Amino acid sequence: MGADLHAPLGQDRKAAKRPLRRLPVSAIFGGIAALSILGLSTYSAFEPLPLQRPIPATEPAQDAASGAGKTTPAAGAADGNGQTMANSRPLGGAAVERTLTDDGSVVTKFSPKPRDGKGPVLIDNRNLGQEGRLAALPNDDLIEETAEGRLPVVGPDGQRPVDQYARPWSGARGTRIAIVVGGIGLSQTGSLRAIRDLPEEVTLAFASTGNSLSRWMQEARMKGHEILLQIPLEPFDYPENDPGRGTLLTSDRPEESLKKLHQALGRITNYTGVMNYMGGKFMSDASVFEPVMRDIGQRGLLFLDDGSTARSLTDGFAKAIGMPYADGDLLLDGQPEKQAVLAKLDELERIARRNGQAIGTASAFDETIAAVREWSEEAKARGIEIVGVSALAADAVE
């Protein structure tokens, strides 16, 4: 009965009322927030495209090229019995395709919109280089098939051989040195030793009059070397000093010079530019040198002047044409003895520290190869970055 023994007989004491407990304000707001999240989650679970109106299967898609006005019907059926709806927004950067599956889910696919060729084209001519495993293969977009062979050209997108085949470098503006070792292809043992023993940062110059050039090119590129092509040009004391067959002469008509140039350029591929072999007289004669420089520049190649003659017109023509070019600062092996070459390399380093960069040229003599290899290892420890010659070529178009 629940009777109280201390209450008067026949009367029960009423139970005492418990005081109401008030919830904290923070708990009330927390509960409201939890209910909101739960409601939104429940809505999202049953809504296939949250926060966006689903596109019905019958809605037309705007034409990506025109951006307005034109419409196309929705695409046909997707895999299974699902329906596919294509939608391309006129100001967007992608075409949107949504597929409605059998279970009511919607799968959205984004893909680039086709270009109509009327808009601006962005050309990126940074030194992209080549992936190492493909370094011995030419880019077909940068090749022109001619009677003289496969000649380098600027690609349809503006890409140049000087950029495609350049050796990548750090991009740091520290002290930089390029070392160019020429005569590759003239001696089998010398070519093999240069490719095998020289650091991969050293640029190799291939003599256009050499032998087995395609073989040496492939090995050099696979090793990581940037390469140039040496073109024989007439020296002042020609013919007593003869650069070899195919020499470009000041007595040649312009079409004869260009034919010889093209025959030389067609010997190999994958080079960033051209380097003179001798040529003091030819490079100081404007009437014959100008059309040759212009053809080299139009093909997207750099020109390296070895610096052997002060009368060369290279700089003036390169700037006028708007092509990348460079000048050699020092001949390293005028005296082909290891200690003499090491002394020249130290002198090259002093030039580079003074000017920020320097270019040394040499030939593939055994003594030169040994000296360059030894000095390069020590120079890196002193903070010198050895780069491909294209990294130091001044681009007159910039």
Q: Which pLDDT tens digit goes with each residue over 52-61?
A: 444 444 444 4
pLDDT score at 134: 81
What pLDDT is stored for residue 62 in this prediction?
A: 41
Q: Are residues 144 and 101 in the same domain?
A: no
**Do 145 and 196 fall into the same domain?**
yes
Indicate if 261 and 171 belong to the same structural domain: yes
Residues 159 and 86 in one domain: no
Q: Which of 4-8, 22-26, 358-362 has the lowest mean pLDDT?
A: 4-8
The arithmetic mean of pLDDT across residues 117-140, rounded, is 64
Residue 29's pLDDT is 58
In a domain, 307, yes or no: yes
Same domain, 91 and 151: no
Residue 197, pLDDT score: 98
99 and 223 together in one domain: no
Is the separation of the CB atoms in 292 and 258 below 8 Å?
yes
Asked whether residue 280 carries a pLDDT value surpassing 90, the answer given is yes
Predicted confidence (pLDDT) at residue 114 exceeds the cutoff of 90:
no
Answer yes or no: is 78 within a domain.
yes
| Residue 350 domain-assigned (yes or no) | yes
Q: Are 136 and 283 members of one domain?
A: yes
Residue 351 domain-assigned? yes
pTM (predicted TM-score) = 0.69
In a domain, 124, yes or no: no
Q: What is the CATH number of the domain that holds 137?
A: 3.20.20.370
**138 and 108 in a common domain:** no
Same domain? 67 vs 198:
no
Range of the domain at 136: 132-395
Instruction: Report which of residues 111 and 281 the model is more confident about.
Output: 281
Does some domain include residue 346? yes
Q: Do 83 and 224 fall within a single domain?
A: no
Q: How many domains does the chain have?
A: 2
**Average pLDDT of every residue of the chain:** 81
Q: Would residue 15 count as lying in a domain?
A: no
Q: Mean pLDDT, to the nearest integer, of 292-309?
A: 97
Task: Determine the pLDDT at residue 271.
Answer: 98
What integer is the mean pLDDT of 203-226? Answer: 97
Q: What does the radius of gyration of the chain's CA atoms come to, in whole angstroms?
A: 37
In angstroms, the CA 25 to CA 17 distance is 24
